[in-house]
Structure 1
Amino acid sequence: MPDSVSSRPVLGLLLRLLHQHHAQDVDAALRAAGFGDIRPAHANVFPFVPDDGIQVSELARVANVTKQTMAQAVEQLERVGYVERRADPNDRRARRVFLTPRGHAVRPVGGAAGRAVEEHWAQLTSPEEVAALRDLLERVLAALDEQPG
């Protein structure tokens, strides 16, 4: 009878460990660029704030985190000057999150650091394998996003 417990790590663990490597490298680049007050949880904010702002609840939804987690991250980033909240012109009861000039300055540094990580991974494997990994992950994510609630 074959062993039902594989000796290989589950995919979720591998993804988490790779993410940790990625996050450490991006974090080091952000610190070197003078953004040492950004924490890993803040990575859920920067990529998802459009120029016309976004409500915290929508930001939480697109980042796939709880509203409470997102509200904490936004509050922390607001205190250190990366985001600001302003009244929503379409809903007086709501507020929208906007990146400040300092918040906008984070994006190119984080993007360059992320590309450097991918280039390093391509050196460790191959550019084709990294491209295939990206394609696979995009397909799985799209399929998961298409599933009903």
Structure 2
Amino acid sequence: MDAPRKPRITLLSRLLHQHYAQAVDAAMRDAGFGDIRPSDAKAFPFVPVEGVTVGELAARAGVRKQTMAETVNRLVGAGYLERQPNPRDARSQLVLLTDRGRRARPVAAAAGDRVERQWAELTSPEEVELLRSLLQHLVSALDAASENPPTRG
């Protein structure tokens, strides 16, 4: 008889992400930002004060340029982002946060902090920090491996 299969790390991380996203979404709604979708998280954290092109924003977020362009269009329409001419390249525009977008950012960050505190209360602060450290180590190892792929002999 086969031993029960361990849950995949990707499933566990997806379940944690769902819990996190639901809590942040609820906090955003409660603060009057109910028109922000959980998928908009791929844009907000990556918009610097000086602005960014859609292509750069897509690369930072790890999504396709078309996907990011759709998100940016929606967030511009909702008043969270704006476009301005790019002073370094007349062929492109910069995406910047509006006042409304800047007000939304700390609400999401505070909600995320509350989620991590809850996880620490449910387990322990040490276990949450160990999980963070192990995941950070894995991400760094994957980054290093992609920069230095093994050579075939």
TM range (shorter): over 0.9
Q: Which residue of 2 aligns with 1:17?
A: 15
Instruction: Report the number of matched residues.
Output: 147
Q: Which residue pairs with 2:94 in the alignment?
A: 96
Q: Where does the alignment leave 5 or more consecutive residues of structure 1 unmatched?
A: none
Question: In structure 2, which of residues 104, 111, 119 is the aligned counterpart of residue 106 of structure 1?
Answer: 104
Q: Compute the displacement of 1:38 (Å).
A: 0.1
TM-score, scaled relative to structure 2: 0.91
Question: Using the alignment, how far apart are the partners of 2:141 and 2:58 within structure 1?
Answer: 20
* RMSD, aligned CA: 1.5
Tell me which amino acid in the other structure corresponds to 1:73.
T
Identical amino acids, percent of aligned pairs: 55
Query: Matched residues in 1 for 2:28 and 2:42: separation?
Result: 15
Equivalent of 2:139 in 138, 141, 147: 141
What secondary structure sits across from 1:53 in the alignment?
Answer: coil
Q: Which amino acid letter does the alignment assign opposite residue 139 of structure 2?
A: L
Gaps of 5+ in 2: none
Deviation at 1:68, TM superposition (A): 1.2
Equivalent position SS for 2:90: strand
Q: Which runs of 4+ in 1 moved over 6 A?
A: none
Matched, 1:59 2:57: yes
Q: CA deviation at 1:129?
A: 0.6
> Partner of 2:121: helix, strand, or coil?
helix
* CA positional deviation for 1:6: 5.3
Which of the residues 17, 22, 46 maps onto 2:44? 46
